[in-house]
Amino acid sequence: MRLSKIIENIDLQGVYCYDNIEVGNITIDSRETDGKSLYVAISGTVTDGHRFIKDAIDKGAVAVICERHIEGIKVPQLVVSDTRKALALACGNFFGNPAAGMTTIAVVGTNGKTTTSYLIAGIAGACGVRCGLIGTMYYSDGEDTYPASLTTPDPWQLNKLMRDMYDKGCRAVVMEVSAHAIYLKKTAGIIFDIGVFTNISQDHLDFFKDMDTYAGVKESFFTSRQCRYAVLNSDDELGVKLNNELEIDKVTYGLSNPADIFAIEYNSLFNDYIVNDKDDIFEVKSNLYGKFNVSNTLAAIAVAGRLGISRKAISRALMGLPAPDGRFNVYESCGVKYVIDFAHTPDGLRNLLISCKELGDRIIAVFGCGGDRDKGKRPLMGAIAAELSDKVIITSDNPRSERREDIIAQIVQGVPDALGGKVAVIADRREAIEYACNTAVEGDIVVIAGKGSENYIDEGGVKSPYSDYEQLLESLSKNEHIR
């Protein structure tokens, strides 16, 4: 593609040595440049890509986008005020702006993004709308699935995915849009047809430093520059604020506060309830457990309605959708229920444990916290687990570059002395799950939280194969619990 097409709609502050050359790819890594690369210099949190402009040119970069003029460069140099935004726009142009040809749906929030996105794509697919899915668990073109690298991919991969989806027949795409993605402008240039706000609670403060900043980033997504229509959770304080302040069209959903779409006659164990959608009443029978999943389902119903899908078709589709992998998956053996869930925030863990109380007599909770992430949530999660569980087994999650023993010690700090007798520390996650299985008796619920469908443990820079589900099966097999 010619450079002139790639830089369409990009606000250029300066142009040097311009030539409308042919460009074969776009990269932000000087090591990945070749004889047809456009190199975009990003000022990152660790290093400044401007330092590597000359390296990129030496490796064959045919043009550069940067934020300041660099002397001595003999290839086209395009100066912009924000290279992150320029990168997203350039990648969109390179792939023909595929988002413009599909109904685009963004799901924003701390918890519930994955399940809500999964439900939206599942309802759409069951009702004849081929819908792509981009999220934490996997990427899907409506038929085939692919491993996910990031919740919200970087602009090159994101636009390539959407191009492939469109070419394969997708006319809608739903994606999780993380706070990091909003802050880093990964979706710049895409005006989403529908934006869903699920909730906000403490997470990612290692990056955003405080809740006001974190909330402000999520709030910033819901403007006419990025979103045409909003679906808002009326049970969340920020959702209420957005509903009161947004000038774009919107609809609310909720369980506790007044909302346009809400559930009545709710049974949290079987998720059999009645939905009132702006006075249109219909029944929902879902395979997803927990009050929080009723909320996620209401969000998906709101989106499906906006897509023009009938209430009857929505109800039928929900009945056939299984729970997503690693999201409140319930297994039973010899009178003991085992729950595997991705809950990895204080609010997520609290909601999970409260919902699990309706499944049995006694809760045994197994969980840890990830390394190189928000340290402030670790003692909070320790306190919540001790408060809402009958037995707590604190273990490792993904330690990354930290010592798992240090992470565990910070979790334990949140456990009140009076509740300390409930807590056991077993640093090895496999041993912790096996211990929980050995300890459980008929009527108990063993909750294994934090990893969900992840298939690895990230420790010391190495990702080793691991699955909570497979470890659970192995532990039960050793104890002859499987019939």
* pLDDT tens-digit series, residues 228-251: 999 999 999 999 999 999 999 999
Determine the average pLDDT of the residues in 247-273.
88
**pLDDT above 60: residue 483:** no
Using H for helix, E for strand and C for coil, what is the string for the chain? Answer: CEHHHHCCCCCCCEEECCCCCECCEEECCHHHCCCCEEEECCECCCCEHHHHHHHHHHCCCCEEEECCCCCCCCCCEEECCCHHHHHHHHHHHHCCCHHHHCEEEEEECCCCHHHHHHHHHHHHHHCCCCEEEECCCEEECCCCEEECCCCCCCHHHHHHHHHHHHHCCCCEEEEECCHHHHHCCCCCCCCECEEEECCCCCCCHHHHCCHHHHHHHHHHCCCCCCECEEEEECCCHHHHHHHHHCCCEEEEEECCCCCCEEEECCCCCCCEEEEEECCEEEEEECCCCCHHHHHHHHHHHHHHHHCCCCHHHHHHHHHHCCCCCCCCEEEEECCEEEEEECCCCHHHHHHHHHHHCCCCCEEEEEECCCCCCCCCHHHHHHHHHHHHCCEEEECCCCCECCCHHHHHHHHHCCCCHHHHHHEEECCCHHHHHHHHHHHCCCCEEEEEECCCCCCEEEECCEEEECCHHHHHHHHHHHCCCCC
Q: Residue 482: what pLDDT?
A: 45
For the chain, the average pLDDT equals 94
Determine the average pLDDT of the residues in 95-119.
97
**pLDDT above 70: residue 270:** no
Determine the average pLDDT of the residues in 2-18.
97
Q: Residue 268: what pLDDT?
A: 56
Q: Residue 362: what pLDDT?
A: 96
**pLDDT above 70: residue 62:** yes
Q: Residue 67: what pLDDT?
A: 97
Q: Residue 269: what pLDDT?
A: 63
pLDDT in tens, 173-220: 999 999 999 999 999 999 999 999 999 987 887 878 898 999 999 999
**pLDDT above 90: residue 309:** yes
pLDDT in tens, 211-226: 899 999 999 999 999 9
Q: Residue 481: what pLDDT?
A: 46
pLDDT in tens, 343-375: 999 999 999 999 998 888 899 999 999 999 999
